[in-house]
Amino acid sequence: MKITLPDGSQKEFSDNTTLSEIAVSIGARLGKESIAAVVDDRLVDLDIVPVNDSQVRFVTFDDPEGKDIFRHSASHVMAQAVKRLFPGTELAIGPSIKDGFYYDFEFPDTITEEDLPRIEEEMNRIVSQKIPYTREELPRDDAIKMFKDLGEAYKVELIEEIDDETVSIYRQDDFVDMCRGPHVPDTGYIKSFALLSLAGAYWRGDEKNKMLQRIYGTAYPKKKTLKEHLNRLEEAKKRDHRRLGRELDLFSIVEEAGPGFVIYHPKGALVRTILEDFEKAEHLKRGYDIVVGPQLLKLDLWKKSGHFENYRENMYFTEVEDIQYGIKPMNCLAHMLIYKSRIRSYRDLPIRYFELGTVYRHEKSGVLHGLFRLRGFTQDDAHILCTPDQLNSEIRGVISLVIDVMGVFGFEYEFEVSTRPEKSIGTEEDWEKATSALLEALEDEDLPYTVNQGDGAFYGPKIDVKLKDAIGRMWQCATIQCDFALPERFDLHFVGKDGARHRPIMLHRVILGSIDRFLGVLIEHYAGAFPVWLSPVQVKVLTITDKSANYAESVAGTLKKQGFRVETDLRNEKIGYKIREARLEKIPYMLIIGEKEAVSGAVSVRHREDGDRGVVSLDSFIDSVRDEIVLPTL
């Protein structure tokens, strides 16, 4: 048989050669690192023998599908260990996830975090045995009978929903699981793993179903990369915005008020206000008009827009005087009504409406996560209505704004284009035009991108901007959505040069996205130590003794008049204790005031990161940091 490799080269092999043997013949390293293969666009195990001339690409851990295969194989090792240690446990599902895997179990008796080391120990035994993963295909009815006999009710339920005549299963010694595969050749490949946590999980994510126990883990081919990942997780714990939000007195989310709703304390509200002021200034400079829409709109409008049909499971509804209303999950409807309030000419376009609009979305309590996933949040939402000729320049203008703003915060970023989902509105022709417009703008800006098939908004394709934070995690914040459908549904038009009515195109876009979520990302990105311009307190004045209190208050007063955000600590406490407290509060600058400073009209400057900066006059300090305290301008 003839095998064609990704570089176009071809090699001939005897008809009974397995993919594993082919990989070894190409190169010892490829043979060692390959864990699966793609044969004529089909992902398969390495023990497969190609039956015809084929195109083959070998998959290693470094490939996206390789990570999924490796970690899903690790989940099978964990499940086998659990079944050995806890007889009578029922298996639910065990997929790979970003950076790891999990498996849901129904245990005869509840297990605890203290049981995880035992499971890891048994997993190590299974790995050392190098047990092969063996694929079998059974008739559907035979698979149902087998899992019924094994007492695996959850597997039976899953198989009964499958329409295929056959079901694939994988065995590894005494363990069997329903699985599409592929898997690594044997358990010995799973050399480095760790079980991370234990959580509750409803079967199929439905709170009406039984609560199962979910074990999370991660796995890597090398101990070094596992250790690096665990160090990142430890660093992420230190940066957890929920903990820092509490310690820095920024916000709270309390059961008494309701899950998914954030309460901003003075310092957190100030940081958020600073972000919003920065955004307003930059949008006004770029020709946006600030608008404000209502929180409730009649249900008929949400039906007209398609939200009721395509998005209602995420919406809240209410009734006022026998009229039904939808609480807005998005801001676009009011912006279109503003556009429709009078006749528009081509000379008026583009029109750019900007709103810091608070929206509400129905989220299940199980997915709520601090500021990252809320039921009520504020978006820096804008809608641009433009002519077809203006579309390219408007998309590129938004991209430019995103790049400029992310530079202020020090984020690296990547672009991803999402195409038409199955649940959507609008014609195929309009979707093709909208998608082409987004792709063309990125290409005109010479920006690399990936394509995420079928993950667009229901009304149009989108560009998502993924940010990389200080410890390498990716966050989706900014988005640009191109919409031909809603202007059609709301009969938006403008009068063209020819005097006829024409349809505008609408761009939905956010830069930071949810202000609340972005604030959570910033807290973790900076580990709570905001840049000086964004810090709720920029300077703290600390006294060594009561004798310098009057001068300290005078220093604070002068700084406030110069636009600094200042606090004083005049308590009768040791100065070392005061400094430690101020550093824990992540305050950028501490000014130490003793008798010498009071006499000379100076201040002793300490920075939260590099410590003592020496004694200078107050004017010199103000001049040296003046540029740091003001809002950045782009």
Q: Which residues are catalytic?
A: 332, 361, 379, 381, 383, 462, 508
Strand-pair partners of 467: 413, 475
Strand-pair partners of 166: 139
Q: Any alpha helices (H) in 445-569, and if so which ranges? A: 485-489, 515-525, 549-561
CB 386 within 8 A of CB 430: no
CB 314 within 8 A of CB 362: yes
Closest CA to 479 of 431, 438, 517, 511: 511
DSSP output for 467-500: EE-TTS-EEEEEEEEEESHHHHHTT--EE-TTSS
CA dist 631 to 60, 276, 432, 534, Å?
A: 47, 11, 41, 8
Tell me the CB-side half-sphere exposure of residue 241, using CA atoms within 13 A: 23
What is the rounded (10 degree) CA torsion for 87, 93, 98, 101?
10
316 vs 301: CA distance, rounded Å: 14
CB 389 within 8 A of CB 260: no
Q: What are phi and psi of 111, to 5 degrees?
A: -100, 170
451 vs 417: CA distance, rounded Å: 5
For the record, the structure tokens of 66 come out as 């390789």
* CB contact set of 228 (below 8 Å; sequence gap of 6+): none
Hey, which bits of 361-461 come out as E strands?
376-386, 412-418, 449-452
Angle at 304 between CA 317 and CA 343, to 5 degrees: 120
User: Using alpha carbons only, how large is the chain's radius of gyration in Å?
Assistant: 30
* CB contact set of 111 (below 8 Å; sequence gap of 6+): 86, 198, 213
CA 541 to chain centre: 38
4 vs 22: CA distance, rounded Å: 11
Cis peptide before 350 (omega within 30 of 0): yes
Other residues' Cβ atoms within 10 Å of the Cβ of residue 567:
15
Overall residue count recorded for the chain in this entry: 634
174 vs 409: CA distance, rounded Å: 53
CB 74 within 8 A of CB 184: no
